[in-house]
Amino acid sequence: MVTVVLRCSLGLPQVSSLKEKRRIIKSLLARVRNDFNVSIAEVGENDTYRRAIIGAAAVSNSAGYSDKIMAGVIKRIETHPEVILGEFHTETY
């Protein structure tokens, strides 16, 4: 069994309130969760409205498959129009 964990820093430059930030993050997390069947949540910068840190995890029998899933998650985040993907880091267990 292989677990791949992803941690991403996000910028939300157009956001002007926590309510707007939460709407954007909630929508992004739901899309990623539904498309890739991963566990994903906002894990940091919760009260900062122009930044967010999200974490995602995928478990499978193959490291290659888990890496492929996380690559898709990163691509989906990069293409979201309201979010700028900053630094990200993956770990395999």
Nearest to 52 by CA among 90, 92, 91, 82: 82
Model pLDDT, residue 63: 87
Tell which phi-psi region holds residue 45, choosing left (phi > 0), alpha (psi between -120 and 50) or beta: left
pLDDT reading at 8 higher than 90 = yes
Nearest to 91 by CA among 1, 2, 5: 5
Average pLDDT (52-69) is 93
Q: Report pTM.
A: 0.89
Average pLDDT (23-27) is 96
Model pLDDT, residue 1: 87
Determine the Cα–Cα distance for residues 6 and 20; give it in Å rounded to an integer. 24
Domains of the chain: 2-92 (3.30.70.1120)
pLDDT reading at 49 higher than 90 = no
Model pLDDT, residue 51: 96
